[in-house]
Amino acid sequence: MNRKKEFTEALKYSFPITVPVLIGYLFLSIAYGILMKAKGFDTWLAVFMSLAAYCGSMQYIAANYLFLAPFNPIYAFILTLTVNARMSFEGISMVNKYKRTGIFKPFLIFLLTDETFSILYSAKIPENINRKYFLFLVSFLDYSYWVIGTLIGCMLGEFIKFNTKGLDFVLTALFVVIFVEQWIENKNKGRTAAIIGLICSIPIMIFKTNTFIILAMILIFAVITVIYNIEKYKNKKSK
């Protein structure tokens, strides 16, 4: 099978798998594009952010806070690091999947998102489908959905004027849905992380500080670290 045919077959197999991401990404990215225009930003900046940053949650945070606040690179760095800390764990989980992917590897690393991870990590790739092409195409298709949706949102925001109040809540709503779904699917110990996150976040929310996300993430990390070490000590002692 020649490379062109392998690529075509991989594309035919990959696209249907990414349709759920297509629907979700288009909605979120269109909302992001409209929000950026409503905040007074140029189309090129919104599209450039989607092309170069490609991090949905941080793009919404940047539109609502970082771009509008006084320039503070240290705060921006820490905030980005904490919000996207989960990507480190997802990346580690994909090390074996990304082995022997050659020139595709840098692109696969850059294009990894929560949704792409959920598809690729559990994917059972048929023997007749080129593994490298499949990994790349799923990642690239998801990426293209986000960029195209951003451009569409900017175009809509340019020509259609309407009340965008509450539009920036779309990502928060998405996280709530994800939290509820994970709560339903996971039981017993599977809900421990969710409970820790809620307990650690509520006290900090009361103070209404601009560094809420950073403080909450630090506290969550500290609590989980303590619990992990306690469990490790108990297991070691039982042996």
Closest CA to 90 of 62, 115, 127: 115
**Residue 55 near residue 77 (C-beta atoms within 8 A):** no
Which position has the higher pLDDT, 73 or 134? Answer: 134
Burial category of 42 from C-beta neighbours within 10 Å (exposed 0-12, middle 13-18, buried 19 and up): exposed
Q: pLDDT tens across 33-85, in order?
A: 988 998 889 999 999 999 999 988 888 888 877 887 777 788 788 778 777 77
Q: Put residue 129 in one of left, alpha, beta given phi > 0 → left and psi -120 to 50 → alpha.
A: beta
Which position has the higher pLDDT, 60 or 163? Answer: 60
Q: At what angle do helices 43-52 and 3-38 cross, to 10 degrees?
A: 140
CA 235 vs. chain centroid, Å, equals 34
- Given this model, what pLDDT does residue 164 score? 64
- Given this model, what pLDDT does residue 235 score? 77
- Given this model, what pLDDT does residue 45 score? 94
Question: What gap in Å lies between CA 148 and CA 47, rounded to an integer?
Answer: 8
What is the identity of the amino acid at 6?
E
Question: Got the DSSP string for 149-210?
Answer: HHHHHHHHHHH-----TTGGGHHHHHHHHHHHHHHHH--GGGGHHHHHHHHHHHHHHHTT-T
Q: pLDDT tens across 176-214, in order?
A: 766 676 676 666 555 777 777 778 777 766 666 656 666
